[in-house]
Chains A and B, each alone.
Chain A
Amino acid sequence: MTMHDWLPLLTLLTSLLTGLLIFFLREQQVRARSFLNMTGAGLKLVFVAIMLWGSFHGRSYETRLPLLGRTDLVLRADALAMLFVGLSSLLWFLTTIYAIGYLEKSPNRSRFFGFFSICVTATVGIALAGNLLTFFVFYELLTLSTYPLVVHRGTPEALRAGSKYLIYTLSGAAVLLLGVVWAYVLAGPIEFTAGGALSHLQEEHHRSTLIAIFVLLVGGLGVKAAFVPLHGWLPAAMVAPAPVSALLHAVAVVKAGAFGIVRVIYDVYGIKLTESLGLTGPLAAIAAFSIIYGSVRALVQDDLKRRLAFSTVSQLSYITLGVAIIGPLSTIGGVVHLVHQGIMKITLFFCAGNLAETIGIHRISEMDGIGRRMPWTMTAFTVAAFGMIGLPPVAGFISKWYLGLGALEAGQGWAVAVLVLSTLLNAAYFLPILYVAWFKEPQIVWPERAPRAWFESDWRLLLPTLATALLSLTAGLLAGLSISPVGWVRMIVKQVYRLWTPFLGAP
């Protein structure tokens, strides 16, 4: 094996080893811990950059280790994987800075950062997984390593949320495992292959089995992808510290579910088989319902993080909707939303955490005039919120644009109606926040900023927030470039549709 074959594994190990080493540090060794964290995150970025460069030039990276009888642990850096890996490793780097600032002086930091790194390992593993078994292994690891983060504070509320989280996710994983095993029995080790690993099966012979497996797989993944009514854990899990809500619940965990669904439809079943089994219609309907339901619930939340959580429920289903409307354009919209929603939502959560940590604000009713005290934070919030609503030129607009075009192209006008309604609802729950923050008179007196302080809050809380806000803006502005997320996705989809369903026409 050459160095190239080991790169995916090395990418995993940067955070895994960091996590394990951090467990052994004493509570007071702040410098050593920060050093380890930042080195791990930095190294990971370097490895990911090398792989991105390579796969842009058509090279592929694959690590294969024996795991279980005839099934291997496969880590493969294909284009879709790199999309998710790039997202999570970049955001891990920023979130680590944020978390170091956020958790300053709070207890059990070694435990926190240890599990935090393991979570990232699991996320990257999910992204790079080259077959269903590997995917499942990391999917479970993600559940287990997030639990200590959800209950980190050890309060009764956190423990309740933790139990709820486990009940949902472990049940989902049990269902998923049944689906995975059944698929293996049917077709042997299932490697993710363009066009679908199961697509060679005789559809007439296995029709009901294939449908049952699909329901098990997507049903299991749907828990983390927060399909209504499987979303109950997500708002509850918001008791976790802000960096956890930001990276894990806005990006890693929920994306693991959505990403899994994308993998199942494209690389396990293949679009053609999914469509001819009649599964795309129901899936799109569930996604549409989740989009509307999440937005409606978000309208009435006063707690800022809860409102953002319900907004996540809604926004996530865009991905599924885009994938379930068969067609290249909507696929671009859905898959690119994986990235766009990630960077925008993490900005919003960073802002919420910054407000809570710096001036103790948790509720929207307390946010009157807050733009005066925290102008930069609220600017970042505004950019991201505009993106969520879908205003150009922020990234969210690009996703919605492609989704809408794709729906029209596929002749699914109802999906456009869903998008419009959802956009109105998004505006209805984000614009009031912006209004009170910028235009109302302050009602309460906030803690003053420290004299001679350069920034309105700790720089470690502010800079990552601004960075992600800037990213959401650039991703939208530079959408025409081939290295932007949407350019990358266009490349994936182009290959994909040429290969799989030529009769649909090139995008």
Chain B
Amino acid sequence: MVGGWSAPLGIELYADGLSASLLAMTAVVMSTAGFYAVQTIRRGGSHTEGCDNDFFWPLWFFLWATLNAVFLSRDIFNLYITLELLVLCSVPLLTLAGSGAALTAGMRYLLVAMLGSMCYLLGVVLLYARYDTLSIPQLGALIEPTSATLTAIALITSGLLLKTALFPLHFWLPGAHGNAPTPVSALLSGLVVKASFYLLLRLWLGAFSGALSPAAGEYLGILGSGAIIWGSLLALRQVRLKLVIAYSTVAQIGYFFLLFPLATSELARSSGHPDWVAMAGSGALYFLISHALAKASMFLAAGCIAHAAGSDRLSELIGIGRYLPVSVFALALAGVSLIGLPPSGGFVGKWLMLTAAFGSGQWWWAIVMSVGGLLAAAYVFMVLRQAVVFRLVDIRFYEVPAGMQWTALVLALLSLLLGVSGEAPFDLLEIGSPFSPPPVDGSVP
């Protein structure tokens, strides 16, 4: 509780298993990426990518605080504020890279994010006018499918989809994530897009669940499938490593959205087996968390590789595996998690979602996930095969501090560890899970 006002009026912070695991994820990614940034700065020279700017650390910690606020808030206006703050931190961080491409991408990101926030705010206003409350649990109890409410939901959803960069609204993401300074790319791809997705999840399964027809969930699922296929195909066509990884984010975001049809559709509800919904939920969150770790690891590894080769063009990475084995290994392990191969967090997520898909009779989503996994394998190995090419003539690569390389590997190992950690994460997610019986009011522990 903040400011002495109790729940509906004041600002209430609230943590359940879901929030707690996302907070932990944020802390891990922020601190490792921060360590990487320190190493970059200590190395100095022309390779700092703007991390030595005076504004870097203030913005960095501000971003961290904001992310925590997003994951803890239970009030749609409060969340609007945190979303805005998120943009205001990430855009300057992105433009610190200083290149022309980064400035353009930053500007575009800013405009898109503003548009998204506007839509969101409009929706919030409409809801407030109708129900006189901003608290998510209270909205969930009051909401009914009137046309004004549906308009509000549509506005809020499209605003958040724009910020989450779900296909076909992903156009701004690759530029922004591919041109930012390396540690910032890791944050943007690993954490920032998750914030708006998290919000969407809370709203759809908490506040809006009474007003939405199952077809809406199907619709998000179709967009998600589009993202998986289209994002992966575009990733295959990139010639720069960081852009490959950025498009891979576009694709992976699609997986998260498969949660909606799996958790809300008619089939899931009528299958009479409540486990499937909970399973889809845990699966998507597993996906989300391991993606955060793996993607951050990939960006950091890509940063090391780009440092060494002087560029991140794939054609210049030939044979780099001999010089940067640790980074390439990190890239490979993170790739394993992205493809969803065992033993990794990505596999656990995929396994749970596949089980939910078959269990609730929606096998077509399972096929999408399989194809997505194969496409992911295609782009991951497109990068890795460059690294193992044998070259007779040795080329000179720049030295990269071991600390930077190992940071990436540690994150990749964590995403693998998630796959063999047994039951602990499940138990954490179960606490106040939005997927098992929905929280009725604000009094849930």
Contact = CB atoms under 8 A, between A and B. Distances in A.
A136 B341 CA distance: 10
Nearest to B348: A68
Interface stretch (A97-105, A153-161, A316-324): A153-161
Contacts of B329: 23
Interface string B340-374: 01110001101110110011000100110011011
A174 B374 contact: yes
Nearest to B276: A185
A23 B330 CA distance: 13
B45 interface: no
Interface stretch (A176-184, A398-406, A442-450): A176-184
Interface in B359-398: 359, 363, 366-367, 370-371, 373-374, 377, 381, 385, 388-391
Contact of B389 (A159, A170, A182): A159
A67 to B, nearest CB: 7
Contact of A140 (B342, B367, B420, B422): B342
A166 B332 CA distance: 14
Contacts of B389: 154, 159
B404 interface: no
Nearest to B372: A174
A423 interface: no
Interface in A279-298: none
A171 B374 contact: yes
B424 to A, nearest CB: 9
Contacts of A151: 385, 388
Contacts of A137: 342-343, 347
B358 A185 contact: yes
B325 interface: yes
Nearest to A70: B423
Contacts of B367: 178
Contacts of B377: 166, 170
Contacts of B391: 154
A166 B373 CA distance: 13
Contact of B341 (A144, A152, A153, A175): A144
B273 to A, nearest CB: 10
Interface string B386-430: 001111000000000000000000000000000010110010000
B359 A66 contact: no
A141 B416 CA distance: 13
Contacts of A155: 390
A222 interface: no
B319 interface: yes
Contacts of B359: 185
Nearest to B366: A178
Contacts of B423: 66, 69
B336 interface: yes
Contacts of B381: 147, 163, 166
A65 B422 contact: yes
A139 B367 CA distance: 20
Contact of A136 (B319, B342, B420): B342
B130 interface: no
B42 interface: no
B237 interface: no
Contact of B385 (A107, A111, A152, A159): A159
B322 interface: yes
Most chain A CB within 10 A, of B336, B341, B350, B359, is at B341
A368 to B, nearest CB: 33
A429 B370 CA distance: 40
Interface string A168-198: 0011011101100110110000000000000
A184 B353 CA distance: 13
A181 B355 contact: yes
A327 interface: no
A42 interface: no
A177 to B, nearest CB: 7
Interface in A48-96: 65-69
Nearest to B353: A181
B420 A178 contact: no
A154 B374 contact: no
B390 A154 contact: yes
A23 B326 CA distance: 10
29 contacts: A67-B420, A68-B422, A69-B426, A108-B322, A111-B325, A136-B342, A137-B347, A144-B336, A147-B381, A154-B388, A154-B389, A154-B390, A155-B390, A162-B385, A163-B381, A163-B385, A166-B381, A170-B339, A170-B374, A174-B373, A174-B374, A175-B370, A177-B370, A178-B354, A178-B366, A181-B351, A181-B366, A182-B358, A185-B359
Interface of A: 23, 65-69, 107-108, 111, 133, 136-137, 140-141, 144, 147-148, 151-155, 159, 162-163, 166, 170-171, 173-175, 177-178, 181-182, 184-185
Q: Which 4 A-B pairs have the closest CB atoms?
A: A154-B390, A66-B422, A137-B342, A181-B354
Given A151-B388, A181-B355, 8 more contacts: A66-B423, A68-B348, A141-B342, A152-B388, A154-B388, A154-B391, A178-B354, A185-B359
Interface of B: 319, 322, 325, 329, 336, 339, 341-343, 347-348, 350-352, 354-355, 358-359, 363, 366-367, 370-371, 373-374, 377, 381, 385, 388-391, 420, 422-423, 426
